[in-house]
């Protein structure tokens, strides 16, 4: 199976904090689901910024290595070009436009689509998340946290991306809501064939959902393998699955 995303030897530094990622290599197969795990400050958010072209906004830069998306080198491409190429992102904290309605938020995500495709994009999202159809005229700021997370996911999916990057989806949400959203993520993968790189604070949840996983520690890949191999590894059991798998990724924002 060929890869949707290939990262080889990636190192990233911030202007004031120095090196944050050291020689990181990672791949996401076409249609595959990969989890990215690690403690606070491990470099997960930095990796997502590098892939999505957002390092400049945080005074960071790639110092060595290569990122390929669908076989194309994307080290120097800005975020809006990556969206047009077929990359979608659900950011940490949801970041919906609270004063806009649900449908207006979705139309922001559809801004790059030809006008003739927007209606079909909206319909795709509403089929995935019927609650958003019910609330399409409601201001996003009046929705619950779970509904806002559905909206952030719908906004990312409106253009039917081939690769979806999901950053800390479960943060601050009740377990039942998280379970429901992950159920829809699985539907997205199975019906649309969307490849996913999932950064998740809940290691058990991520390893149950993903097919393979990478664990970052100190800006390096500590270990990787199938989800089952990673879950059963002694280091993972001791560090993340022994009751210490919850983290607040907000502390990692400058990692």
Query: What does the pLDDT read at residue 64?
Result: 96
| pLDDT tens, position by position, 62-90 | 999 999 999 999 998 999 899 999 999 88
Q: Report which of residues 255 and 35 the model is more confident about.
A: 35
Beta bridge partners of 162: none
For the residues 218-233, what does the mean pLDDT come to?
92
Q: What is the pTM of this model?
A: 0.85
Q: Is 78 helix (H, G, I), strand (E, B) or coil?
A: coil
Q: How far apart are CA 162 and CA 159, in angstroms?
A: 9
Helices (H), the chain: 44-52, 79-85, 102-109, 115-128, 130-134, 145-157, 175-192, 203-209, 227-232, 234-239
pLDDT band at 61 (very low <50, low <70, confident <90, very high): very high
Tokens 């309605």, residue located = 101
Domains of the chain: 1-86+162-173+195-255 (3.40.50.300), 93-160 (no CATH)
For residue 165, pLDDT over 60 is answered with yes
Q: How far apart are CA 234 and CA 180, in angstroms?
A: 30
Report the run of H or E that residue 12 belongs to, with start and end.
strand 3-14
For residue 249, pLDDT over 80 is answered with no
Q: Which residue in 106, 9, 142 sits closest to 67, CA to CA?
A: 9
pLDDT band at 111 (very low <50, low <70, confident <90, very high): confident
Q: How far apart are CA 76 and CA 91, in angstroms?
A: 21
């Amino acid at each position: 199976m060929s890869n949707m995303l290939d990262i080889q030897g990636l190192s990233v530094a911030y202007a004031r904090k120095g090196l944050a990622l050291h020689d990181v290599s990672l791949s996401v197969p076409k249609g595959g689901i990969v989890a990215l795990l690690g403690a606070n400050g491990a470099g997960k958010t930095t990796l997502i910024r590098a892939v999505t072209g957002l390092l400049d906004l945080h005074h960071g830069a790639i110092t060595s290595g290569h990122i390929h998306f669908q076989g194309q080198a994307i080290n120097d491409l800005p975020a809006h070009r990556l969206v047009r190429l077929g990359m979608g992102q659900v950011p940490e904290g949801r970041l919906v436009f609270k004063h806009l309605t649900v449908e207006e938020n979705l139309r922001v995500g559809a801004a790059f689509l030809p006008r003739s495709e927007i209606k079909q994009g909206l319909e795709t999202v509403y089929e995935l998340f019927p609650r958003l159809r019910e609330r399409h005229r409601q201001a996003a700021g009046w929705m619950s946290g779970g509904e806002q997370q559905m909206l952030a996911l719908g906004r990312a999916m409106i253009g039917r991306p081939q690769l979806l990057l999901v950053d800390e989806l479960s943060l601050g949400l009740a377990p039942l809501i998280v379970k429901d959203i992950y159920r829809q993520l699985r539907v997205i993968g199975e019906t649309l064939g969307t490849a996913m790189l999932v950064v998740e604070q809940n290691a058990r949840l991520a390893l149950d959902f993903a097919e393979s996983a990478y664990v970052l520690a100190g800006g390096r890949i500590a270990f990787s393998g199938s989800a089952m191999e990673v879950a059963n590894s002694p280091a993972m059991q001791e560090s993340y699955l022994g009751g210490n798998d919850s983290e607040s990724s907000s502390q990692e924002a400058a990692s």
